[in-house]
Amino acid sequence: MIRILLLDDHGILREGIKRLLEAEPDFTVCGESGSVKQALDSLRALGPDVLISDISLGDGNSFEFIETLIRAGTGTKILVLSMHDNPAFVSKAMALGARGYVTKAAASKELVTALRDVVAGNNFISSDVRRVKSAAAPKLTQRELDTLKLLIQGLPPKAIAADLGINDKTLYGHRANLMLKLQARNLSDLQEKAVAFGLIENL
């Protein structure tokens, strides 16, 4: 049985999500919370497999909550359920440690699938968010995409250049173009932007 904790400050929405999930024979909503404080208490007491959390909450925001939960090392996986389809929100949530992001507009069709993917150890982003990311993404050449993947893997420049069969000067040119197109300040920011725009999934 997959045990789920719901965190949202709208009781009616929690009830709707609970009914949707408990229609699945292997899902059970073991607790509900309307605030971050209540959720922290419930997490300690119940130890759910998955936390489904909104971003905008009355007593805080789930970005801070995600950080707190990941640092605590509880093992509970986090799936964000939000009204926002902003790629920057998706990027931040996933970078902090969330395993999935589903908009409330897509929840009726995709939340069950998202939960199963997250429990299986995969990442999940709802289809409407992926469409927004794709529309907003800068156009990269195939060589820039290849360079991006290797940069994010943390390989040293000489190894990347050798892997791509190019010299150092050409590599630095590709890297400069990537930083410019994605408006990234450093490699960490480059990875975050790559995820936000859907250029590279499941980094």
Q: Where are the domains of the chain?
A: 2-134, 137-196
pLDDT at 34 exceeding the cut of 90: no
Average pLDDT across the chain, whole number: 86
Q: Which two tokens stand for residue 31?
A: 């607790």
Measure the CA–CA gap between 115 and 118, rounded to whole angstroms: 5
- Is the torsion defined by CA of 40, 64, 153, 155 positive or negative? negative
60-61 and 77-82 beta bridge pairing: unpaired
- The per-residue pLDDT for range 69-100, each reduced to its tens digit, is 777 777 899 999 998 887 778 877 887 889 99
| CATH architecture designation of domain 2-134 | 3-Layer(aba) Sandwich (3.40)
Three-state secondary structure call for residue 64: helix
Class of 137-196 per CATH? mainly alpha
**Please, which residues have CB within 8 angstroms of residue 24's CB and are 6 or more apart in sequence?**
112
Q: How many CA atoms lie within 13 A of 167 on its CB side?
A: 1
Measure the CA–CA gap between 84 and 73, rounded to whole angstroms: 27
- The per-residue pLDDT for range 2-24, each reduced to its tens digit, is 999 999 988 999 999 999 999 99
- pLDDT band at residue 143 using 50, 70 and 90 as cut-offs: very high
Mean pLDDT within 179-189: 84
Instruction: Kindly report whether the global pTM for this prediction surpasses the value 0.85.
Output: no
Work out the widest C-alpha separation in the chain, in whole angstroms.
59
Q: How many residues does the chain have?
A: 203
**Please, which residues have CB within 8 angstroms of residue 92's CB and are 6 or more apart in sequence?**
63, 192
Q: What percent of the chain has pLDDT over 70?
A: 91
Does the fold of domain 137-196 match that of domain 2-134? no
